Every structure is written in C-alpha cells, then in structure tokens.
Structure 1
C-alpha cells in the first residue's frame, strides 16, 4: 500500500495521538496498542462507529424502564438515531405512545394488560438492533465514481409519513452501488387529513431532506430532473 501512497488507518491515528499528551487522551486511548489491540468504538450517545470494520452500530441501554407512559417515553427518547437508520422501528414506538396518550393514562400509572403486551412485544424487537452493521461510506473504497444520482422517496399512510434518500453511483465499469444517506418518519395527525394530503406532507418532508443533503454533500442536482411522481 505504501508503494501507491496509501497509509493504514492505525498509522494515521498513531501520528495524531503522538501530538497529544497522554493526559489529554480519552481513557480508552491512553494504553491502546494499535498493532495488537482491537480498535476502539467511537460513540456518540447510542450510535457507535466501529473503526475496525468502518461500520455504524447501535448499543442500547439494557435498563428496563417501568411499563408506564413515562417509562415508554424515556425508552423511545433513548434511541439516538440522527440519520434515520432506525426510523421504521422508532415510529412504531411513537405510535404506541400516542395510543397511550389518547387513553389519558397518568404518567406513572401502570398500563393495561393489552397495551403492556404491545409494548413488551415492541421492546423485544429492539434486541435485533444491536446486530445491525451499517457501512459508514456511501460508495466502496477505491472505487472510481463515474456518475452520482440522488434518489429520494416519500410515502404516507393514516399512521405515519416518511421520506428516505439514497445515493446511487456507478463506477467506470458501469457497476452500480447504493448507499443510504438519510431517512425521516413522523407520526401522522390523528384526524382531519386525507391520504392525498398526507402524501403531500410526505413530499414536503422529502424536499426538506433533499435540501439538507444538497447543502452538505458535493452533489450536483439538475432542477429539471429533481421531481418525478408516479
């Protein structure tokens, strides 16, 4: 690799670390041997980055919260997911919370057996989240990108609206690759909105995340091709 000007990540990290006094390093880096030890996980609240595999992963709290309105809200808010990887899961918890609120349950009052069973069923699905491994990069390493396309989808139902964005690239040989960029989901209003109106709200959400992506990534968007609706 050095012949072609590439440097391994541990070497780069070692050079950076050498510029700091040991007392200024994070506790998990002070005695780290980058040749022998496993690379550390970099954490931001519940979202972690595995330096070894260059994947994002989630490490959830094992604390069992009380099965009350307050406990459910605390559990849902503990799922830190800024990019929307877990949106399909989190939105189910938010829908259940809305159901509980509509039942005018006190914050610390135990839930009914039926609602508690629904909550436990949803909570049990969270275990699978820790097995997720999501690539940090949008395109494979060392691939020469020939074309870049931003694809944004939106949809709505009586329960929720959502939008998601992907980056589709092709390399010089024509091989395609899809990378997840950003997703968002919101609970739909309880009444007074038709499906077409909710679909328009989802389209607005799609435009919002598109603007966020265009503002932060080096992507050229042709305005003549930005919208297509089937």
Structure 2
C-alpha cells in the first residue's frame, strides 16, 4: 500500500467525506504471492456491485494461440513484460471516487479514505481499458522511430504480439530482433509503459540490448521462464511443461478429478492425447451419475489413479520452439482428422524447407473433443 501511494496510484481523500457517487472497494491481502486484491464484485447495501454496472468491453487483443504460434515462427525469440501495466493508465478524475478504499497502517492509526487513480485489478472493465490504452500508445507514438518501415513493424508487433502485459515475438535474425526490441521499447516508453524481464534465445540480442544505456530497462531473465502458461528454456530454445502432482491423500471424487484435469493447460493442443484421455474419463463419471463428493467406484478409482500416476511423465516432454520457418523458405501445412466412439480430433503439421533444402516437420496445433453421449455415426 505504501508503494501505491509512492507511485501516485492512490491519493488521500480530504475530510469531510462526501459519499455521493462513490464506491468503496474491499481489498484483502493474498499472502501466497503477496499482493493486494481489489474486490469490485462486493455488493453494496443496494445488492449491486461496481462490476455489475460496468461494461466489460470487447476482446481487442489477438488470441493466445495466435500469439504463441507467432512466437514459434522464426529463429530468434524475444519476450518481455510491462511493469505494473494497469497502474500506468490513469482513470479520469470524475470516476476516481468509484475506486475509493479505506486503509490504515496499524490499529493505532485512524482509518483513512483514499481513491485509486489508475486502472485497478479486480474491475470488470480494467483489462479492456489497459489493453486499449496500450494499443492507442502504439498508434500515437510510433513516430518516435525515425525509420518509417521500422516504426510500422514495431507498431504492428505491439498490436498483435501482446497478451495483456506479456510480449512474445520472433524474428528472422538477431539484427532484426535488436531493432524491433529497441523500437517497441521506445514507442511504449513514450507512453510510460516500462518493459522489463527481457529474454531471448540469441546471445547477440541479449548482449547488444543489455549494453545499450539509452534503453529504458533491459533487465534480462535467462534460462527457464513462463510464456503464456507454457514454460520456455531460452538456452535450449525448447518449450516444456511443469505438472505438479500432489501426493494422493483423499479418496478421489468427481470434484477432485475435474480440478486436476482442468489444470492441464494446453492452449495449442500439443498435449491433446493426454488431455482428451482425462476428459473422456470425466464423461464416464457423468454417465454413471456420481455426485460431486461421492468417492469413485473401485473400477473408476483404479483407472483414474493409473492415469494420474503417468501425468508426471509430461515433465519430460520437450518441444522445439522454432518451427523452422525462414523468410524465403517454403512452408506447407498438412491437416488430419480422425474420430472414434470416444473422441474426435483435428491436427495440423507444418513442414518447412529452408534455403539449404534442410527439412523440418513439427506439430503446429491440434483440437480435440469428447464424442457426445447421443451421437450419430462415427463419420
């Protein structure tokens, strides 16, 4: 809370307090990864919360899958994120009193009233407002780059390669990556969006950027890092997974099985055979009419425990990030689909041939679904 005040993200409201047109946001502390969480879904005495009366706004950023696929396109990968993105966007002064909070450092202090001045986590409209401000920044400030072509590339990268505050992109070579990173940084710095936690699989990119004193903040994360729910090792340039399997203590139920299967986050479908097996098992539980907290029958319990025990093998899966695409090479897409009485799926492979005629074949993406209970024929 001291940081909020020091950074100008909140300011005290001077007494006497008028409460007309105001909303007070509860803010519990989360102590796992310590942070403040603002709960604008808390209802007032009218039975309505601030989130209930807000427009959420449309989705204006590119899809997570598209960003990940673009990240895998070329040899040189670059990632970064925006520090305190929401806090860099001011809320108009006439609406700041809808973001009031109460706070005191200790029980001995008087309770103080504050208003939050910036876009706040926990508000229904906040993701849209922050992303919309970022995109407007890209349009308004792209002229800071003297080269028109480079300015256009950087603007398009900001518009298409950000997922909220996470930036992922790939370039054909190191020099292109360095120029793009510098231009994106300059454009966003003009709007007070500060990029940090840069990472790249190319040593030339990291060395060149980190030695440039004019850059706003090239702090680098080397080695393993998270990229939109996946893990990326920038040293080996591989994508991988981290599956945490807790020791089995309780008897498995439909609720606990569903919770564990939904933890298998797989946006591009690379784990489809594993995920669909878990979803087929969930369908079996529904078919026998189990309630949420009833222990599984012996046959289902044994089947589930066998499946669960094998999930740790996902930690051994390593996937090359780079799909082998080059600027003037040849790329073809190959689609397949299949169906059974349990599930059906479609997948796309990508085959690339570079200038030296070297070939590479990779699974690009896949989609799968459990077959419906009352289906027609398998075709």
Regarding TM over 0.5, the answer is yes
| Residues 87 and 15 of structure 1: CA distance in aligned 2, closer, same or farther (over 3 Å) | farther
> d(CA) in 1 for partners of 2:365 and 2:374?
28
- Post-superposition shift, 1:52? 1.1
Cα distance, 1:86–1:12 mapped onto 2, change above 3 Å = farther
1:49 aligns with 2:245: no
1:8 CA drift (Å): 2.1
Q: Counterpart of 1:10?
A: 206
Deviation string, structure 1 residues 166-197 (Cα, Å, up to 9, x no partner): 1111123433211221111110112231012x
Gaps of 5+ in 2: 1-173, 176-201
Aligned length: 177
Per mean C-alpha deviation after superposition, the further-off stretch among 57-66 and 180-189 is: 57-66
| 8 Å contact kept, 1:161–1:188 | yes
Q: 1:175 to 1:51 in 2, by over 3 A?
A: closer
CA distance in structure 2 between the aligned counterparts of 1:82 and 1:48, rounded to whole angstroms? 12
In 1: Cα distance, 2:225 partner to 2:343 partner: 32
> TM-score, normalising length from structure 2?
0.43
CA shift at 1:144, angstroms? 6.9
Q: Check whether the contact 2:324–2:354 (CA below 8 A) recurs between aligned residues.
A: no
Alpha-carbon deviation of 1:12?
A: 4.8
TM-score by length of 1: 0.68
In structure 1, the partner of 2:273 is 88
Aligned 1:70-219 pairs, distance under 5 A: 70-139=255-324, 145-196=328-379
Measure how far apart 1:139 and its partner are.
Answer: 0.5
Cα distance 1:55–1:124, how it changes in 2: closer, same or farther (>3 A)?
A: same
Structure 2 CA distance for partners of 1:20 and 1:173, relative to 1, 3 Å: closer
Runs (4+) off by over 6 Å: none
Q: Provide Cα deviations, 1:93-146, integer angstroms capped at 9, x if missing partner.
A: 111111011111111111111111000111111111000110111007xx6753
Distance in 1 separating the partners of 2:269 and 2:206: 30
Distance 2:217 2:375 in 1: 59
Aligned to 1:220: none
Which of structures 1 and 2 has the bigger CA Rg? 2
Q: Name the counterpart of 1:60.
A: 243
The CA distance in 1 between the partners of 2:217 and 2:283, in whole Å, is: 49
Shift of 1:91: 0.5
User: Distance between the aligned counterparts of 1:99 and 1:124, measured in 2?
Assistant: 19
Consecutive unaligned residues in structure 1, runs of 5 or more: 33-38, 197-230
User: How far 1:15 moved relative to its partner?
Assistant: 5.0
Would the alpha carbon gap of residues 77 and 155 (structure 1) be closer, same or farther in structure 2, given more than 3 Å must change? same
